[in-house]
């Protein structure tokens, strides 16, 4: 009894430590990421040497001699100062104030700008920025549909009638080229219109800059916001982070393409890995003859789960992309060669690579689920004159389904966080075209894609502006954790419902 209590205490202590570690990860990520969305007050610093800075305090630390603090100030205006942040020692500060009327501009390029609008009100500027935002969205839609779409039609006609000069080809090309030139002219007029709306923006050193409304994402009088309005800005920024596209080399804006690519990759992988994993498990457990060969196969499956993921990536590159993809291009897309269609990285090959990587997990979990089905269920079904296939299909698999879904849950968890295989099978730094959209055929399995895991690596370690991208790293990490949690929770709910269903039925 005494030893049993010791083991119980050890197990509970281990569980507590693991729980604390998981909670610590979440806390660290939230503490470092969430403040990025909350609008901070902008401070006006006057230093002993006469310099003045306008910016947000983004942290403080002790100096090397431990005698005082120094502050990390985000001053923005990178196009003027050449940097986003400055460090100011505490003893250099003469005064610090929170001036009313200071404006923070979130821009498409060069980061934030802090200053004042001397001529016009913030309400008037916001109205013009909203109009410019609508115009920017209109230009993007026009470029995709009327410029890129018509250009794609021209290329299709040229490829289709490459070896014959028909009257239809000549007339159709002439018509499309005229349409393309007209669309280019319309686009040029839209860009000219976008340049017209400007306003004067005054920096803290009295320098004035002419700002185009077209280049501004948001204008906020941060020092004049109430708590309620700050909460509204906080919620809006979170939504913008999730559902908007990245800008400034992924260091600003949103992560929607990466979020979409991650979820889409996991869904395609699940479609492939779950059926094949279940089929393999059913054969190995129900049909295969027990012997040395079966033991070797099982040992091999267990060992495959420990193979480094980059090895699977190299296999996906050599087999799926070069061999299968090259063959698909030769048979079905020969008109596009030498430009590859499926003979290069894409979300289909990345999903298949991840399916092979997670297949051992699904097979092992499914076999354990099949083992958990009592033998009397099988005997009872055989007693009712059921065939072996009917027993497996109607009795064994339904009762083993919760265990099989456990394998799928583990596969989803691993696939959502893997990055190494994706780096050589289709993931990219920036992909403005999603793998699924409203353009026929609607699902584009040949397209490259973005992934939250790779996005974290790229922003954290490949960014030209490390300090500015730091909050983006933590927020993307939190979003990836939430995605994995939601996907797993969905699978767990389905598994528990199936388990309750079969318990109630008494099968």
Q: Say which CATH number the domain at 388 has.
A: 1.10.3720.10
Task: State yes or no: cis peptide before 338, omega within 30 of 0.
Answer: yes
Residue-level pLDDT at 117: 84
CB proximity list for 291: less than 8 A, separation 6 or greater: none
Region class of 176: left (phi > 0), else alpha (psi between -120 and 50), else beta: alpha
Residue-level pLDDT at 52: 87
pLDDT digits (tens, 9 = 90+) for 301-340: 888 888 888 999 999 999 999 999 888 888 888 777 787 8
Give the integer Cα–Cα distance in Å for 265 and 377.
Answer: 37
Same domain, 81 and 141: no
pLDDT digits (tens, 9 = 90+) for 111-125: 888 888 877 777 888
Query: Which backbone phi and psi does 136 adopt, to 5 degrees?
Result: -65, -45
Q: Is residue 243 part of a domain?
A: no
Same domain, 71 and 195: no
CA 497 vs. chain centroid, Å, equals 30
Q: Is residue 20 part of a domain?
A: no
Residue-level pLDDT at 253: 85
Q: Is the pLDDT of residue 355 over 90?
A: yes
Q: Is residue 331 part of a domain?
A: yes
Q: Is the pLDDT of residue 179 over 70?
A: yes
Q: CA gyration radius for the chain?
A: 30
pLDDT digits (tens, 9 = 90+) for 246-269: 888 788 888 999 999 999 999 999
The pTM is what? 0.86
Same domain, 492 and 350: yes
Same domain, 131 and 209: yes
For the chain, give the mean pLDDT.
Answer: 85
Same domain, 210 and 327: no
Same domain, 179 and 296: no
Same domain, 130 and 272: no
Same domain, 388 and 427: yes
Q: Is residue 475 part of a domain?
A: yes
Give the integer Cα–Cα distance in Å for 141 and 120.
Answer: 31
Give the integer Cα–Cα distance in Å for 485 and 64.
Answer: 41
Tokens of 371: 């083992």
pLDDT digits (tens, 9 = 90+) for 448-482: 999 998 989 888 888 777 777 888 889 999 999 88
pLDDT band of 505, cuts 50, 70, 90:
low
Q: Is residue 109 part of a domain?
A: no
Residue after which a domain boundary falls, among 176, 202, 220: 220
Same domain, 208 and 162: yes
**If you average pLDDT over residues 332-356, what whole number do you get?**
87
Tokens of 452: 């939250």
Q: Which residues of 128-158 are buried (b: 16+ CB within 10 A; e: fewer)?
A: bbeebeebbeebeebeeebbeebeebbeebe
Max avg pLDDT among 51-55, 265-269, 495-499 = 265-269
Q: Is the pLDDT of residue 507 over 60?
A: no
Q: Is residue 287 part of a domain?
A: yes
CA 329 vs. chain centroid, Å, equals 29
**Strand positions, DSSP E, 158-311:** 198-202, 208-212, 216-220, 246-247, 252-253
Q: Is residue 2 part of a domain?
A: no
CA atoms within 13 A on the CB side of 178: 6
**If you average pLDDT over residues 97-113, what whole number do you get?**
86
Max avg pLDDT among 137-141, 316-320, 377-381, 463-467 = 316-320
pLDDT digits (tens, 9 = 90+) for 142-166: 888 878 777 777 777 777 766 667 7
pLDDT band of 21, cuts 50, 70, 90:
very high
Same domain, 421 and 321: yes
Give the integer Cα–Cα distance in Å for 53 and 204.
Answer: 7
Give the integer Cα–Cα distance in Å for 177 and 112.
Answer: 41
Same domain, 264 and 355: yes
Query: Which backbone phi and psi does 269 adopt, to 5 degrees?
Result: -60, -40
Residue-level pLDDT at 273: 92
Domain total for the chain?
3
Q: Is residue 245 part of a domain?
A: no
Same domain, 170 and 314: no
Residue-level pLDDT at 444: 86
Domain containing residue 60: 43-101
Residue-level pLDDT at 1: 56
CA nearest to 77, candidates 106, 98, 51 = 106
* % of the chain at pLDDT higher than 90: 14
Region class of 478: left (phi > 0), else alpha (psi between -120 and 50), else beta: alpha
Residue after which a domain boundary falls, among 72, 101, 130: 101
pLDDT digits (tens, 9 = 90+) for 402-430: 888 888 888 888 888 888 899 999 898 88
Residue-level pLDDT at 495: 78
pLDDT band of 351, cuts 50, 70, 90:
very high
Q: Is the pLDDT of residue 93 over 90?
A: no
Q: Are 359 and 273 in contact (CB under 8 A)?
A: yes
């Amino acid at each position: 009894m005494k030893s049993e209590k010791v083991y119980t205490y050890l197990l509970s202590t281990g569980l507590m430590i693991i729980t604390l570690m998981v909670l610590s990860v979440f806390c660290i990520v939230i503490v470092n990421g969430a403040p990025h969305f909350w609008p901070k007050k902008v401070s006006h610093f006057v230093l002993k040497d006469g310099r003045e800075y306008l910016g947000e305090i983004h942290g403080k630390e002790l100096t090397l001699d431990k005698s005082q603090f120094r502050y990390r100030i985000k001053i923005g205006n990178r196009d003027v100062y050449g940097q986003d942040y400055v460090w100011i020692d505490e003893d250099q500060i003469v005064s610090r104030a929170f001036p009313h009327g200071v404006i923070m501009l979130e821009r498409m390029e060069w980061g934030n700008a802090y200053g004042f609008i001397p001529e016009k009100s913030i309400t008037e500027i916001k109205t013009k920025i909203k109009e410019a935002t609508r115009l920017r969205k209109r230009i993007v839609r026009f470029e995709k549909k009327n410029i890129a779409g018509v250009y794609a039609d021209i290329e299709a006609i040229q490829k289709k009638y490459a070896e014959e000069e028909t009257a239809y080809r000549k007339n159709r090309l002439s018509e499309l080229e005229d349409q393309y030139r007209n669309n280019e002219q319309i686009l040029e007029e839209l860009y000219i219109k976008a340049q017209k709306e400007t306003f004067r923006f005054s920096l803290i050193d009295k320098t004035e800059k002419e700002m185009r409304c077209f280049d501004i994402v948001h204008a906020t009088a941060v020092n004049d916001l109430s708590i309620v309005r700050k909460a509204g800005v906080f919620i809006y920024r979170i939504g913008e982070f999730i559902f908007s596209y990245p800008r400034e080399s992924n260091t600003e804006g949103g992560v929607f393409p990466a979020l979409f690519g991650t979820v889409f990759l996991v869904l395609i992988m699940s479609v492939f890995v779950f059926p094949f994993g279940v089929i393999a498990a059913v054969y190995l457990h129900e049909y295969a003859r027990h012997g040395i060969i079966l033991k070797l196969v099982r040992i091999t499956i267990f060992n495959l789960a420990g193979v480094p993921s980059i090895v699977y990536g190299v296999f996906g590159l050599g087999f799926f992309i070069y061999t299968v993809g090259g063959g698909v291009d030769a048979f079905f897309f020969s008109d596009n060669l030498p430009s590859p269609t499926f003979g290069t990285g894409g979300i289909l090959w990345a999903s298949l690579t991840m399916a092979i990587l997670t297949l051992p997990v699904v097979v092992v979990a499914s076999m354990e689920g099949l083992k958990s089905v009592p033998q009397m269920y099988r005997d009872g079904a055989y007693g009712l004159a059921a065939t072996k296939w009917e027993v497996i299909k109607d009795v064994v698999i339904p009762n083993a389904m919760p265990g099989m879904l456990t394998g799928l849950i583990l596969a989803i968890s691993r696939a959502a966080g893997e990055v190494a295989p994706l780096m050589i099978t289709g993931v990219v730094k920036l992909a403005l075209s999603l793998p699924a959209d409203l353009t026929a055929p609607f699902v584009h399995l040949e397209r490259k894609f973005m992934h939250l895991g790779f996005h974290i690596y790229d922003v954290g370690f490949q960014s030209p502006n490390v300090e500015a991208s730091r909050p983006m790293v933590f927020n993307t990490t939190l979003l990836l954790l939430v995605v994995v949690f939601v996907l797993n929770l969905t699978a767990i709910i389905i598994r528990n419902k199936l388990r309750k269903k079969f318990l109630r039925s008494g099968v």
